[in-house]
């Protein structure tokens, strides 16, 4: 089983309480099951009694993890509780025992339309559906000028996170072919999950991309807005901070354009992303995403007035949907101040 590769994490986490306050789901459900410790305890049981792999309650718990990576990032030994959860999901898919609601989401994700490419140049921007819906794509294109633009397809990361590894690789492979076909030397993305796919997950899949990959906040590093951004609360991205070594470009870019970054809430180790790392949590348990959004809203000093910036289009969409927060993607903030 894939979970056997994480036996060190299972054994370490099952007796450890140290990061339970960083489980975003645990903080809104108040259940011990939604912490790395109890997930590891349950999976230790699976290693001894493999028939427990397909237990219905276990599957439901493992599919509502926020996968923020906060616990792994702040663990003194960085035990990979995220990798363990993803390994369990892959094992459940391999056993043909995935819950019906997860299978239905995966079936939708498998129906990926073809990517369409327009424009010309050595830079290609991925305008995926969430980047368009969040406003990040339009704002980026206003800032970036002439680039190639890819629209319409999906990248496979959602299927990967749900445990459908073979199907995820097939979609990612098609995506890489389209990217290679652009002959671009730089690929730019707003979607933090696509960034993580291109810089980390492709290697796990055994795939490669030659071009350099940048999040928009890195690509726009040289931009200067005419207006200063002023007081801004920046909510960290799970993928950029917790999966990619505290990727510094979002905060550097905001500061370079006159942002005075203010501390949000009292714990800067927490995830305030509405489950960004889980990618499709809004389709699995939307009521949980609403609770995560309300949890964030309750921690804002002046909810309707504070300017809140995010690097993740997913987070912008969820916060805009469930809260009154004045939330903008970094691209939107910059484009408005241009
Ligand atoms: S990830 Fe680290 S801190 Fe969290 S439960 Fe595991 S060992 Fe403890």
Task: Give distance in angstroms: CA of 199 to centre of ligand 1.
Answer: 25
pLDDT grade for 253, boundaries at 50, 70 and 90: very high
Residue 112 is predicted with a pLDDT of 85
| Nearest 10 degrees: Cα torsion 298, 301, 306, 309 | -60
Q: What is the mean pLDDT of the chain?
A: 97
Place of tokens 């089983």: 1
Q: Is the pLDDT score of 215 beyond 90?
A: yes
Q: Is the Cβ atom of 18 under 6 angstroms away from ligand 1?
A: yes
Helix, strand, or coil here: 281?
Answer: helix
Q: Kindly state the tokens that stand for 180.
A: 């290679």
94 vs 99: CA distance, rounded Å: 12
Task: Give distance in angstroms: CA of 160 to centre of ligand 1.
Answer: 24
Place of tokens 């993890």: 65
Place of tokens 């949890």: 295
Number of Cβ within 10 Å of residue 301's Cβ equals 11
In a mutational test of the pocket of ligand 1, which residue from 35, 77, 271 has the highest number of ligand atoms less than 8 Å from its CB? 77
Number of Cβ within 10 Å of residue 183's Cβ equals 13
Q: Is the pLDDT score of 8 beyond 90?
A: yes
Domain boundaries, the chain: 2-98, 110-219, 230-336
Taking only the tens place, the pLDDT of each residue in 99-112 is 999 999 999 999 98
Q: Is the pLDDT score of 239 beyond 90?
A: yes
Q: Is the Cβ atom of 69 under 6 angstroms away from ligand 1?
A: no
- Mean pLDDT to the nearest integer, 281-310: 96
Q: Is the pLDDT score of 304 beyond 90?
A: no
User: Structurally, what CATH architecture does the domain formed by 110-219 represent?
Assistant: 3-Layer(aba) Sandwich (3.40)
Atom of ligand 1 nearest to the CA of 9: 6
Percent of the chain predicted with pLDDT > 70: 100
Number of Cβ within 10 Å of residue 116's Cβ equals 12
Its pTM stands at 0.97
Residue 174 is predicted with a pLDDT of 97
- Mean pLDDT to the nearest integer, 147-155: 97
Q: Are the CB atoms for 247 and 216 separated by under 8 Å? A: no
Q: Is the pLDDT score of 26 beyond 90?
A: yes
- Mean pLDDT to the nearest integer, 6-26: 96
Q: Is the pLDDT score of 80 beyond 90?
A: yes
Place of tokens 């916060």: 319
């Amino acid at each position: 089983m894939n979970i056997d590769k994480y036996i060190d994490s299972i054994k370490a986490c099952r007796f450890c309480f140290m990061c339970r306050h960083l489980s975003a789901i645990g903080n809104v459900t108040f259940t011990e099951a939604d912490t790395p410790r109890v997930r590891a305890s349950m999976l230790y049981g699976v290693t001894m009694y493999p028939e427990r792999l397909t237990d219905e309650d276990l599957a439901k718990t493992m599919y509502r993890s926020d996968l923020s990576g906060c616990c792994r990032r702040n663990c003194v030994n960085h035990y990979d509780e995220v990798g363990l959860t993803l390994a369990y999901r892959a094992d459940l898919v391999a056993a043909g025992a995935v819950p019906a609601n997860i299978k239905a989401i995966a079936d939708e994700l498998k129906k990926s339309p073809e990517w369409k490419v327009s424009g010309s140049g050595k830079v290609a921007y991925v305008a995926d559906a969430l980047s368009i819906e969040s406003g990040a794509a339009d704002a980026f294109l206003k800032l970036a000028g002439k680039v190639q633009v890819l629209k319409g397809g999906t990248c496979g990361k959602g299927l990967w996170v749900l445990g459908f590894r073979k199907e995820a690789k097939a979609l990612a492979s098609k995506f890489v072919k389209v990217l290679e076909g652009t002959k671009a030397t730089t690929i730019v993305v707003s979607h933090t999950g696509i960034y993580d796919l291109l810089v980390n997950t492709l290697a796990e899949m055994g795939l490669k991309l030659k071009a350099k990959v940048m999040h928009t906040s890195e690509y726009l590093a040289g931009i200067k807005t005419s207006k200063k951004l002023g007081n801004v609360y920046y909510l960290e991205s799970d993928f950029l901070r917790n999966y990619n070594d505290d990727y510094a470009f979002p905060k550097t870019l905001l500061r370079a354009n006159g942002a005075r970054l203010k501390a949000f809430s009292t714990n800067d180790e927490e995830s305030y992303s509405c489950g960004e790392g889980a990618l499709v949590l809004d389709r699995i348990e939307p009521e949980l995403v609403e609770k995560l959004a309300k949890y964030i809203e309750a921690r804002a000093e002046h909810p309707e007035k504070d300017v809140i910036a995010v690097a993740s289009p997913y987070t912008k969409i969820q916060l805009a949907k469930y809260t009154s927060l004045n939330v903008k993607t970094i691209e939107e903030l910059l484009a408005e101040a241009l």
